Amino acid sequence: MYRMTSAMNHATTAPLNTLSGPTVFVVDDDISVRESLELLIGSAGWRPILFDSAQAFLSATPNAGPSCLVLDVNMPGLNGLDLQSLITKSGNRTPIIFVSGFGDVPMTVKALKGGALDFLTKPIDAEALLAAIQSALSQSEALIRDEEELMRLQVCYDALTPREREVMSGVVKGLLNKQVAFELDISEITVKAHRGQVMRKMSARSLPDLVNMAAKLRIDDGREIH
C-alpha cells in the first residue's frame, strides 16, 4: 500500500518531464494491479509512474523522454479507449499497451486499429508484458530520434535562400540541371552553383540522400517550381 501511495503522490506532484530514463506510465483503477505493475516495471530497470484514472493521467505534464503507456480498458469515467482517442487527437505518439480483464475481439481490434502496440488480458503474463514494454520503449526512442532528425533538417532547410529552395525542389523531382535552368529562367551554371550550396547546407552526401531529406520535410509533393 505504501509503495503505491508514494508513487501516486510523486506522479501527481512532480513535473514528469524532469524525470530521466525510460518511463512506463500505468493507468489502472485497480490498486492491486498498480502495485504489482510498479514492482514488475521497477525490477526491469524502468521508472513506473502510476495513475488511478484517465483524468489523472491527462492532468499530468507529458514526459519528454522515451516512454510508453500501460493502459487498462475498463475504468470509470473515461475508459482506456476514450483516453487512447484523446491521446491520438492531441498528436501524442506515446506507444500504448492495453490490458483488460474483459477483452473481446471487437475491443481488441478497435484498440489495435487506434494504434495500440499490444493488447494483453488479465491476469497479465509478466514475460509478455515486459517484452511488450521493451518493444514500446524501443519504438518511443525511434520516434524521438526521427523527430530530432526532422527538426535538424528543418533548420537546414530554413537556411536555404528562396532560389536554393526552388533549385532543390526541381532537383528532388528528378529534373536535370538544364531543365531546372529553363524552368527558373537562369543559366545552367547558376543552377549548378545553387545545387552545390543546397547539398552543402543540407549536409547531403548524395542526390538520393537529398531526396530522402525532401521526403521527410514533405517538400517533394509535386509543387511546381515558380
Does residue 205 contact residue 145 with C-beta atoms inside 8 Å?
no
Residue 10 has a pLDDT of 37
Span of 91-100, 105-114, 124-133, 155-164 with lowest mean pLDDT: 105-114
- Band (pLDDT 50/70/90 cuts) for residue 102 is confident
Amino acid letter, 19: L
For 167-214, the pLDDT digits (tens) are: 999 999 999 999 999 999 999 999 999 999 999 999 999 999 999 999
pTM here is 0.73
Cell representation of residue 121: 488480458
In this prediction, residues 43-61 reach a mean pLDDT of 92
Say which residues have a Cβ less than 8 Å from residue 226's Cβ, sequence separation at least 6. Answer: 166
Say which residues have a Cβ less than 8 Å from residue 5's Cβ, sequence separation at least 6. Answer: none
Residue 218 DSSP one-character state: T
Domain map of the chain by residue range? 2-144, 159-217
Return the higher-pLDDT residue of 114 and 190. 190
The DSSP-derived string for 46-72 is -EEEEESSHHHHHTSPPP-SSEEEEEE
Which DSSP helix (H) or strand (E) runs through 212? helix 207-217
In this prediction, residues 93-118 reach a mean pLDDT of 83
> Is residue 160 predicted with pLDDT exceeding 90?
yes
Residue 82 has a pLDDT of 92
CATH 3.40.50.2300 fits 2-144, yes or no: yes
Amino acid letter, 194: H
Residue 60 has a pLDDT of 86
Count the alpha carbons within 13 Å of 176 in the hemisphere toward its beta carbon: 2
> Is residue 108 predicted with pLDDT exceeding 60?
yes
Determine if the peptide bond prior to 123 is cis (ω within 30°). Answer: yes
> Is residue 36 predicted with pLDDT exceeding 80?
yes
Percent of the chain with pLDDT over 70: 85
Which one, of 40, 65, 35, lies nearest residue 50 by Cα?
Answer: 35
Percent of the chain with pLDDT over 90: 69
Cα-to-chain-centroid distance, residue 93: 4
Q: For the domain bounded by 159-217, which CATH number is listed?
A: 1.10.10.10
For the chain, the average pLDDT equals: 86
Listed ranges 61-70, 79-88, 156-165; the one with the highest mean pLDDT = 156-165
> Is residue 120 predicted with pLDDT exceeding 70?
yes
**CB-CB neighbours of 216 under 10 Å:** 15
Residue 62 has a pLDDT of 67
| Cα–Cα distance, 19 to 63 (Å, whole number) | 8
Say which residues have a Cβ less than 8 Å from residue 13's Cβ, sequence separation at least 6. Answer: none
Grouping H, G, I as helix, E, B as strand and the rest as coil, residue 118 is: strand
